[in-house]
Amino acid sequence: MGLKIALCQAAAVSGDVGENLRRALSIISQTRADVYVFPELFLTGYGADCEDLEEDVRLAVEKIRLRCMEHDIAVVVGAPTYHGAKVRNSLLFITSDKSWAYDKLYPARFGMYAEHEKSFEAGRSPVMAEFKGMRFGLSICYDIFFPEIYRSYAVAGADVNVCISASADASRAYLERVLPARSLENVLYTVFVNNISSGEPKFYGGSRLVGPLGDTLAEAGGGEDVLCVFVDRDVVDNARKTRRHLDDLRSDIRWL
């Protein structure tokens, strides 16, 4: 069983939810896929002041949901979610009949990624989505450096881990080292979709699909790109016959 996924590496306009929605719907209308994945905080633009954008985001999500209903597709997009006075940096996995919201477990606290200064509240738990028979573990950017998130998805039966990102040039080398590891140690696909920008901070793009054995199967450059890839559960199952370390997980160890 497999799905076609469009890795939508597109630039967002800071604070302009309507324009970012238009860009997303345009890409969807021009590309044939089952699942469309957009970067971190794409609906508002990374770094935008999100406090007064709640209604704009709500309307944009409803329009995306209608598009999903019309075409039987799923859309994964980064957006703020609102919880009373709290705002969370979230990944929305939207389908025709169900949606999931994953809240970033580890908002970044260093350098230009001062998300705590933007008053983003940290998430509380992992979230796994399902679409057309395949299971997706959900994550955002800095979460990739916390392997327990991805192991929990693998143990729970995920086929694909999705990481949407706003990663700048300074972080590129670290992301490129860790992405193959997250795939190989859990023997499943990793979908990584990053922001791009022409100004500062410079988001480097580099969106990619990493296979279950840690090989980069497809990779975008640093500009606008829609990279269509195919993921197949049979590939995951066969990879786990080659690398069987998940079968050897122990439940009796008393960890420190």
> Three-state SS string across 33-64, please?
CCEEECCCCCCCCCCCCCCCCHHHHHHHHHHH
Residue 201: cis peptide before it, omega within 30 degrees of 0 = yes
39-43, 46-50, 243-247: range with lowest mean pLDDT: 46-50
For residue 254, is it within any domain?
no
The domain containing residue 121 runs over which residues?
Answer: 2-248
Query: Which domain CATH number covers 150?
Result: 3.60.110.10
For residue 256, is it within any domain?
no
Q: How many domains does the chain have?
A: 1
For residue 155, is it within any domain?
yes
pLDDT, tens only, 186-208? 999 999 999 998 777 789 999 99
**CA pair distance 209, 246, nearest whole angstrom:** 21
Residue 248: pLDDT above 70? Answer: yes
pLDDT, tens only, 79-112? 999 998 899 999 999 999 999 999 999 998 766 6
For residue 226, is it within any domain?
yes
Two structure tokens written together for 160: 């694909």
SS3 220: coil
